[in-house]
Structure 1
Amino acid sequence: MRDGFPGQRLRVLPGQVVAAAVRSGLTSRLLVTDAGYFPRARHHGRRRAHGASGTIMIFCVAGQGWCEAQQGRLRVAAGQVLLIPAGVGHTYGSDDADPWTIWWLHLKGPDATAAVEELCGSPAQPRVLGVHDPFRLSAEMERVVELLETDETTPTLVRAAGTAWSVLAQVSADALAGDPQRGEPVRQAQELLRENLAAPVSVRGLARTAGLSPSHFAALFRAATGGGVVEYSKRLRMARACELLITTATPVGDVGRTVGYADPQYFARQFRSVHGCSPSDFRRRHREVEATGA
C-alpha cells in the first residue's frame, strides 16, 4: 500500500496550521486538512484500525476500488463517492485489474460531522453514494487542491472550506434526489413543469411521458423532491408570480392567469397558502420596502 503515482497531486496541512485553524473563524466549522489527486493509483490503499481523525471523502472518477469496514465490503465505481466517517475503522484500496483515479479530501469540523451524520446514519458507517454531475464535482474538488497548493494562509483556507462545503452540499443533494438513473424521469418532469407553468398539471400525463405507471412515477417524484407533483407545481407558479408582482405592473388577475390560475380568487387563496398574504399585499409591502430603502 503505497503512494507515488505519475501525475499525482497531494497537499497536507502542518499540524500547527490545523490546530490554529480549528480554533476560530469560519475554518472552525469546516477545514480541509488534506487533499489530493491520484491517477490510476495501482496498489493504492490504507488500513486504519481506529479510523482517521477527520471525515474522508474519495471521489472515483475512473476505474474501481473498494472499502471494508464493520458492515462488510463496499465496491466503489467511477462516478461514485466513498464517504468514511471520522473514527470508524476501515481498509480501502484500488482495484488491481482496474485501478481507480480519485480526488480525495480529509475534512474536520462540526459541519463535516453534521453532513456525515445525515448521509451515513447512526452509528455512522462508510457509505458509497452516486453522483449526478461528476464533471462539476471533479472541478470543485480540483479547486480545493489548487487552493491548498497556493499557500496555507487563513484566506486560502477559508476559500478551500467554502469550496469543500459546496462539495458536501452537492453530494448531499444528490443523495436526497436518489439514484441518477431512477431520478431522470423526475428531472424531465420538473423541466416540463417549469417550461409550462400555465398548463394543467396531470400526474397521469407526466407518468405517460416518462413511460411509467402513475403510482410508480408519483412515488419516484415524492422520493426525489419530498412532496407531490401538484405541490411542486404550485411552488414553481408562486415563485414566478412573486417575480412578476415585484418586477412588473401587471394586474394581479393577469399575473394569476400567466401562471395557470384563471380564477383570480383561487389564485389569491393559493398565493396566501404559500406566502401568508394576498398577492396585492405582497406587491404593496415590497414597494414600501423599496421606497424606504430598507
Structure 2
Amino acid sequence: MAPLDGFPGQRFRVLPAPLTAHALRTGLTSRLLVTDVGYFPRARGHLMTRPGGTSTSIVIVCQDGAGQVWFGGRTYRVNAGDAVVIPKNEPHRYSSDDEHPWTIGWFHADGLDVPELTQAALGPGRVPVAPLRDAYTAWNLVDRVIAALERDETEASLLAAAGAAWNLFAQIASERRLGPAGTTERVHIAQDYLRKNLADAPSVSELARLAGLSTSHFASVFRRSAGMGVLEYIKRLRNSRARELLVATDLPIAEVGRSVGYSDPFYFSRQFHSINGTSPSDFRAHYRQQEPRPGTSDPEPGADRIPRSG
C-alpha cells in the first residue's frame, strides 16, 4: 500500500462504482474501460499484495528506479523502461525497491476485450515483466490515460483513456513478438533487403548471412518477429507488390509476375491464388469494376441515376 499521506507529486483517480457498472454495459467502454489510474513518483515503501488477484487487469510502466513483481510462483525484477502486465483474478504482489524506489504510471482495465489484450501482452510464456523497446511512447500512453481521467468522468474522457490503454496493450504485445532489440534489428535488415529486391529470390541462408546469424537462428528469430516463416513472408511481400502492379499498371500478367520474382507465369498464378483466393486477371478485372482507374476522375455524384438536363 501507499503511505497514508501518499507520495509527493502523486496523481490518482478511481471511477465511482455506479459509473463503472454503467460504462461496462454500454457502448465502446463495454469493450475496454480504465477504472483506476495513478502516477507514483519515487514511491519508496509502495507495496501491493493481492492473494486473490483483482477483478481488473493491471498495467504498470516503470519510468525510473526499480521494483519487484511476484507472479505465478516466481519473482521478477522490474527496471526503468519495463512494463508489467497482470491479468485479472491472478494472485500477485509487487513492491518498490528500497534503495532505488520506482517511479511508475499504472492503470486498471476491465471490459470484454481486456482478457484477450492482457494475454497478448503477457505473451505465450506468461511473463509479467516486458522490457520496452520504445519506453518513451509507452510512458506517453500511460500519461494520456491518467490525464484523460484527471480531466473529468465524461464519456469523451473515458473513451480517450480507453484508446490510449488499448494502444499500450498493443504496443507491449507487439514488442513481445519482436523479441530482443539487437537480434531483431538484424532481421529487419534482411526484411528491408527483401522489400527492395523482390525479383532476386535470395535463399534463407543468404538472408541469414546478410543478418549475420546462423541459418537456424535466423529462421527462428524471423518467425518470432514476423509471425510466419521466411518463405511465407517472401510470398506475401511479392503478392502485395503484385496487387499494386495489377491495379496501378497495364503490365501483362506474366510481366507482373516477373517483376516480383516469378519467372513462370503459371506458378505465379498459383501462388497469387493461394494468397488472394482469385487469379491475377480476375483480381484486376474485379478491382477495376469497383474503383476508378488511377489518373481518371470520379463520376459526378448521382450521374448514373439522374439524367442531365438538355
Deviates more, 1:260-269 or 1:105-114: 260-269
Match of 2:102 in 1: 100
Match of 2:248 in 1: 247
Asked whether 1:25 is paired with 2:30, we answer: no
Runs of 4+ residues deviating >4 angstroms: 118-122
Within 5 Å, which residues of 2 pair with 1:119-268?
119-120=121-122, 127-268=128-269
SS in 1 for 2:242: helix
Structure 1 pair 148–196 and aligned structure 2 pair: CA distance change class (3 A): farther
Q: Distance in 2 between matches of 1:105 and 1:96?
A: 23
Deviations 1:273-293 (A, max 9, x none): 211212111010011122699
User: How many residue pairs are counted as aligned between the two chains?
Assistant: 292
The answer to whether the 8 A contact 1:201-1:233 is kept is: no
Deviation (angstroms), 1:245:
1.8
Deviation (angstroms), 1:140:
1.8
Q: Distance in 2 between matches of 1:207 and 1:126?
A: 29
Match of 1:67 in 2: 69
Q: Which is greater in Rg?
A: 2
Deviates more, 1:14-23 or 1:256-265: 256-265
Asked whether 1:54 is paired with 2:56, we answer: yes
Q: Match of 1:44, as an amino acid?
A: H
Deviations 1:110-132 (A, max 9, x none): 2111223445589x977212323
Within 5 Å, which residues of 2 pair with 1:73-84?
73-84=75-86
Match of 2:308 in 1: none
Deviation (angstroms), 1:254:
3.0
Q: Match of 1:17, as an amino acid?
A: L
Deviation (angstroms), 1:250:
3.2
Instruction: Give me the CA root mean square deviation.
Output: 2.5
Unmatched runs of 5 consecutive residues or more in structure 1: none
Match of 2:305 in 1: none
Deviation (angstroms), 1:247:
2.6
Deviation (angstroms), 1:175:
1.9
Deviation (angstroms), 1:94:
1.1
Deviation (angstroms), 1:239:
0.9
Structure 1 pair 193–5 and aligned structure 2 pair: CA distance change class (3 A): farther
Q: Distance in 2 between matches of 1:126 and 1:17?
A: 32
Deviates more, 1:124-133 or 1:224-233: 124-133
Match of 1:9 in 2: 11
Q: Distance in 2 between matches of 1:248 and 1:146?
A: 48
Asked whether 1:110 is paired with 2:112, we answer: yes
Q: Distance in 2 between matches of 1:181 and 1:137?
A: 19
TM-score, with length taken from structure 2? 0.85
Structure 1 pair 61–199 and aligned structure 2 pair: CA distance change class (3 A): farther
Q: Distance in 2 between matches of 1:249 and 1:103?
A: 54
Q: Match of 1:13, as an amino acid?
A: L
Q: Distance in 2 between matches of 1:206 and 1:121?
A: 27
Q: Distance in 2 between matches of 1:217 and 1:78?
A: 29
TM-score, with length taken from structure 1? 0.89
Unmatched runs of 5 consecutive residues or more in structure 2: 293-298, 302-310
SS in 1 for 2:213: coil
The answer to whether the 8 A contact 2:71-2:128 is kept is: no
